Amino acid sequence: MSTLSRKKFDERFVEAKYRSLIATPFSTPTALPADADFAVQSTAGNVANATALSYTGYNGRTIRVPALDAGEIYRIGRIQRAAVVTVSAGFDLLVDIGLGRLVKVGEN
């Protein structure tokens, strides 16, 4: 399978698994349906070292971000399937559905 074919496959897989969350973003702690790459977007700007989200699972973490202006995006990386994610106030959770396209799946 070529690299482009693999990217197209990943795109279709992630988009299919997250279809319901894309249609209706969650606002309460929610388990992720599949592994994917994520980013957070500041809705109103924030100070440095602000907590953007936390998740529990195989390797639970709290994600802190640098100072962001309103609408600015910070890429987090991959979070595993079944991790329970809680988005902090002032942030939206975005999933990469392939080829760098980010779509909102969580908000607070």
| Owner of token pair 């992630």 | 14
pLDDT tens digits, one per residue of 74-89 = 999 999 999 999 999 9
Give phi and psi for 63, each to the nearest 5: -100, 120
Q: What's the CATH class of domain 3-107?
A: mainly beta
27-83: pLDDT as tens digits: 999 999 998 999 999 999 899 999 999 999 877 899 999 999 999 999 999 999 999
Q: Report pLDDT for 10.
A: 66
Name the phi and psi angles at 40, rounded to 5: -120, 150
Domain borders along the chain are 3-107
| 3-state DSSP percent of the chain in helix, strand and coil, to 5 | 20, 45, 40
**What's the half-sphere exposure (Cβ side, CA atoms, 13 Å) at 100?**
1
